[in-house]
Amino acid sequence: MKDTTSTEDEDEEQKLLESLGLLHLINEPSEQQSISGGGGEDTRCNGDGETSLTWNNNKILLGIGGTLFLLPHLAIILSLPPVLQRRGAPYLPTFGNKLDIMFDLIRKHVSSSSSSSMSTPSLLKFVDLGSGDGRVVFRAAREGIFHKSVGYEINPALHMWAKLRQMVTPKYWSSTQFYLGDLWKIRLHNFDVVAVYGLYPIMERLGKKLQQELKPGSIVVSNVFEIPNWKAVSSSASASSHGKGVYLYQVPECYSKSVTNKTKDI
């Protein structure tokens, strides 16, 4: 399954580059080199028109290269203000191995759950809080157990990239949605599965928000960081060292007495 998923990701990236007109240009240098290798005097003999065209193509390639180089840095820079304000996390992509573990835990829990909300997987709604470039949302859509997979991201550069990928991949049009927004302003009562990759400073506050808004039977999957005072239903830490730090919680069984009492006092 991992090889198939990786191939699908590569195919989607190829389609995205092709739709933006980048795939041909990226492959073009090797073609030009093979042509010039056969006769170095061709450019001089073909006149100013072809020389100008070659120079324009080089400028386009330089512009594309600069954009591809700056985009990740821009995404990181734009993710810093929420971190400094303790309202979010920096851009921390979830890689293939962790995705496999996360969705393996989710799938096993959904299939074995006695909760009425989990009894009809085709009606389940998935949300990724801080969806970044969209990879977790797209993976959720490919799992085939969710009616809708949604991502919320406060970073406009990352949100734009996720939307572009969705736009050029028709199979995601009906199954995914992306919104530019602050996770603290989102109402979560309609979601059955919540994924989060936060930092420790925000996890306690996030836990309080989740407890106030999630309906019974919902599950939360946290990557790397535990939610303070919550009890995980299952964790990959004991199963594999490669998956250490993926925690699955079920509402309301995950709440400890101390958290429940604090919530009542608010």
**pLDDT string in tens for the chain (266-residue length):** 555 655 665 666 566 556 544 455 445 444 444 444 544 444 444 555 556 666 566 666 555 555 555 555 555 555 555 555 555 556 666 777 889 999 999 999 988 876 656 656 668 999 999 998 999 999 999 999 999 999 999 888 889 999 999 999 999 999 999 999 999 999 999 999 999 988 888 899 999 999 999 999 999 999 988 999 999 998 776 444 344 589 999 999 999 755 544 444 43
* Secondary structure letter of residue 236 according to DSSP: G
Beta bridge partners of 149: 126, 176
Residue 150 near residue 125 (C-beta atoms within 8 A):
yes
Query: Is the pTM of the predicted complex or chain greater than 0.75?
Result: no
**How many Å is the Cα radius of gyration of the chain?**
23
Count of positions (residues) in the chain: 266
- Which tokens hold the place of 67? 């954009």
The one-letter amino acid code at 200 reads Y
Cα–Cα distance for residue pair 19/12, rounded to 1 Å: 10
- Which tokens hold the place of 138? 């797209």
